[in-house]
Amino acid sequence: MKFTSVFDIIGPVMIGPSSSHTAGAARIGRVARDLFGRQPKWVKIYLYGSFAETYRGHGTDVAIVGGLLDYDTDDERIKTAFEEAQKAGLQFEFIPETANKEHPNTARLLMGDDAGEMSVEGISIGGGKIEISEVNGFKLRLTGGMPAILVVHDDRAGCIANVANCLAMHDVNIGHMEVSRIERGLTALMVIEVDQNIDDRIIEQISYIPHITKVSKINN
């Protein structure tokens, strides 16, 4: 077995008890918040596999809510995330599901506010690491380990090149990129992992590119 860092062996600094059920769950919640672009007013949290079976005892519930409040895995406030959510006006509901998913530690967050809704599905793969596997019905693979942007756009020629050119103009290097669409000629999604955090002015420039409808970012 190959390890790329000490954290692959000992796991992340975190509020316990479990790296996969607590740290990973917190990261799923935090990345979902980043993708939504703000703290939602409400969230329905669908849990699958071992998440559904042990979410109370392993702290998966408070961890996801803590992540939605923008708490990192080592933030002591995760322990009181339910109370902090109430103060912040975040309503949440946990829904254990019996359906089988490809990975046992899977959560799907349906969140929203007066301005819109978003669905994010993530899995905790161990050692505090996660993958985001679906956003609003688009299949993808986003690790959350690198800064990234998600670009929703019309499925038109030139969109991908225009976004890549904008990043290159600001000397932003692309480490990994995926493009998916639900149906030809309708809406598509770019997932772009990059080597450095993306400045808000770059996000704004991308949002002005023709046929771009929404841009979200994840910074490290």
**pLDDT tens digits for range 26-39:** 999 999 999 998 99
The pLDDT-based confidence of 10 (bands split at 50, 70, 90) is very low
The pLDDT-based confidence of 104 (bands split at 50, 70, 90) is confident
Fill in the DSSP letter of residue 45. E
* pTM, rounded to two decimals: 0.82
Q: Identify which of 162, 128, 158, 157 has the alpha carbon closest to the alpha carbon of residue 143.
A: 128
pLDDT recorded at residue 5: 40
| pLDDT score of 217 more than 50 | yes
46, 95 in Cβ contact below 8 A? yes
218, 28 in Cβ contact below 8 A? no
Mean pLDDT lowest for which of 49-58, 61-70, 205-214? 49-58
pLDDT recorded at residue 21: 66
The pLDDT-based confidence of 191 (bands split at 50, 70, 90) is very high
From residue 71, give the alpha-carbon distance in Å to each of 15, 30, 54, 152, 194. 11, 7, 21, 26, 23
CB neighbours of residue 7 within 10 Å: 14
35, 135 in Cβ contact below 8 A? yes
pLDDT, one tens digit per residue, over 105-136 is 999 999 999 999 999 999 998 888 899 999 99
pLDDT recorded at residue 20: 59
